[in-house]
Structure 1
């Protein structure tokens, strides 16, 4: 489904649609981090967006990356020791608004465009989230359907979701492990490990891979995206940002980005979605 240009939603190459994902709820690097206003805009136009989640003391979650409130808000102390009221009284250092709570997310999702997608990148471990956090996710998001995808660094947490919330899409990011394997043992071991992860207990729908890893593996004869597609998994290539969004692609950036697009990723994460779309259209226009 094609959209009006310059919104920053998707790119098309050789008949393949690649969605542009708004990293940390930003259309531009200059936008406030984790902005409810940007999320509302994304829900209206049908954007793919990403946010980070941290568990609270009461079992709910808040949209933050750092483990401590002072990292991104006017609050202080570990997020996991703060309740909803304490967090609501804080303000984001970027933008000055109140942090977004998981209850806010659940409410806003009800009015989202059918094509809107929201990635919850959960930063805490299964042990930290605990039974209260797991119950909160089930109570508020079990019926979110295809509107959300939950990812996280703790594979035990993702595997638990596969058993307790099987209708919610899940994502894994094996980038660090695969990068080390590629350097130490080469492409064949990387391919075998990726396939094992894909078919493991997490049962992912999406695989998140850094774009430099994708291009490096391809130069060595291994198409990581094709490996995932052969296993019926989608691929998000992260995080590509233009050095000069107003000027568009430099020649080096274009060489790298066009090589990435030729491999047909399903999604590209960026903090500059509209600028990336404009730069792409400028380069491919006859």
Structure 2
């Protein structure tokens, strides 16, 4: 179990409620939505504060990785074309659209992680499946991250990929995200079938530490009598509810947001993913002080 930080000078790390502590995870390395996407500066701040953070990884042609969400360079960067066709040398002159910053490569992450606070946790959300990443990509991860397991959790929708990570890097934490599959099952066969499928995933070969579930799926299930968080926690797994971001961080929760967020907190997730971690913590404290 990763220890949660109690640093008094840090904001946006966790919320305590009825004896349960829920970490606030910084989505795409954003402490605030106004932060630039995938900011190395925010990541360094999070490492110092003991934050939980998430970034997306895309595989390169040379089987290394770059911190980006989309499969093409357009949109997030000044480059063009599929990332999977670019090698390390092709990316050197490319910059992020926001702030003219260099791209963060997997090689950079390995160096930066050396200075992480013991409580910090960085989620590698793998956006490609095992077919795209292959054995060489797993070897790259092993070469660069085998000695910093306490700070990293590798997640993805591809169960084959997470199994491959387990076999090559058994000391790394692992996470799975069955949200899309479970949504489809709920529509086609109902919540009993969702429960059966989730139980199978929890017992499956990935042996996950954390289950990533969209917050609205969690609440939809709870309204129909299925507590997905309790189900996972009863099996020794943690649950990350993604991604709850305040529309107006200065104003705090709207009434609808408060109804949803308080219902979510009542189910005691281990972590909530957000683009507005400090504002969410402040808004929660204001509401609870009333």
TM-score of the aligned structures, taking structure 1 as reference length: 0.97
Q: Matched residues in 2 for 1:101 and 1:184: separation?
A: 40
Q: 1:218 to 1:36 in 2, by over 3 A?
A: same
Comparing 69-78 and 21-30, the one that deviates more = 69-78
The whole-number CA distance in structure 1 between the counterparts of 2:47 and 2:92 is 22
* The one of 60, 72, 75 aligned to 2:64: 60
Q: Which consecutive aligned stretches of 4+ in structure 1 deviate over 4 angstroms post-superposition?
A: none
Aligned partners of 1:44 and 1:267: how far apart in 2? 19
Partner of 2:231: 227
Asked whether the equivalents of residues 162 and 174 of structure 2 are also in contact (C-alpha less than 8 Å), the reply is yes
SS where residue 263 of structure 2 aligns?
A: helix
Q: C-alpha separation between the residues in 2 aligned to 1:57 and 1:148?
A: 23
Q: CA deviation at 1:5?
A: 6.4
> Is this contact kept in 2: 1:6–1:275, CA < 8 A?
no
Cα deviation code 1:62-102 (max 9, x no counterpart):
10111111231111221112122221211001221000000
Instruction: List per-residue Cα deviations over 1:133-170 (Å, max 9, x = no partner).
Output: 11110000122222100011211111111222111111
Partner of 1:70: 74
Q: Distance in 1 between matches of 2:169 and 2:146?
A: 6
Distance 1:5-1:237 versus aligned 2 partners, 3 A rule: farther
C-alpha distance in structure 2 between counterparts of 1:192 and 1:167, whole Å: 28
CA deviation digits over 1:142-200, x for unaligned, max 9?
22222100011211111111222111111111111112222332222111110101111
1:175 equivalent to 2:179? Answer yes
Q: Give the aligned partner of residue 120 of structure 1.
A: 124
Q: Is residue 33 from structure 1 mapped to residue 28 from structure 2 by the alignment?
A: no
- Post-superposition offset of 1:131: 2.6
The yes-or-no answer on 1:85 pairing with 2:89 is yes
Post-superposition offset of 1:258: 0.6
Spell out the pairing of 1:102-117 with structure 2 (5 A cutoff): 102-117=106-121
More displaced 10-residue stretch of structure 1: 75-84 or 263-272: 75-84
Count of aligned pairs: 286
For residues 207 and 253 of structure 1, the distance between their equivalents in structure 2, rounded to whole angstroms, comes to 23
Q: Mind listing any 5+ residue stretches in structure 1 that lack a counterpart?
A: none
Give 3-state SS (helix, strand or coil) of 1:124's partner.
Answer: coil
Indicate the residue corresponding to 1:142 in structure 2.
Answer: 146
Tell me whether 1:206 sits opposite 2:202 in the alignment: no
Give 3-state SS (helix, strand or coil) of 1:42's partner: helix
| Greater mean alpha carbon deviation, residues 107-116 or residues 143-152 | 143-152
Q: Select the residue among 23, 38, 46 that pairs with 2:27.
A: 23
Name 2:164's counterpart in structure 1.
Answer: 160
Work out whether residues 56 and 79 of structure 1, in 8 Å CA contact, stay in contact via their aligned partners in 2: yes
After superposition, the Cα gap between the structure-2 partners of 1:6 and 1:243, relative to the gap in structure 1 and judged at 3 Å, is farther
For 1:78 and 1:115, how far apart are their aligned partners in 2?
35
Q: CA deviation at 1:6?
A: 6.4
- Deviation, 1:2, is 2.8
Does residue 251 of structure 2 align to residue 247 of structure 1? yes
Equivalent position to 1:236, from 218, 240, 263: 240
Aligned residue in 2 for 1:278? 282
- Counterpart CA distance in 2 for 1:183 and 1:125 is 25
Unaligned runs of 5+ in 2: none
Q: Find the aligned partners of 2:255 and 2:70 in 1 and give their Cα distance.
A: 35
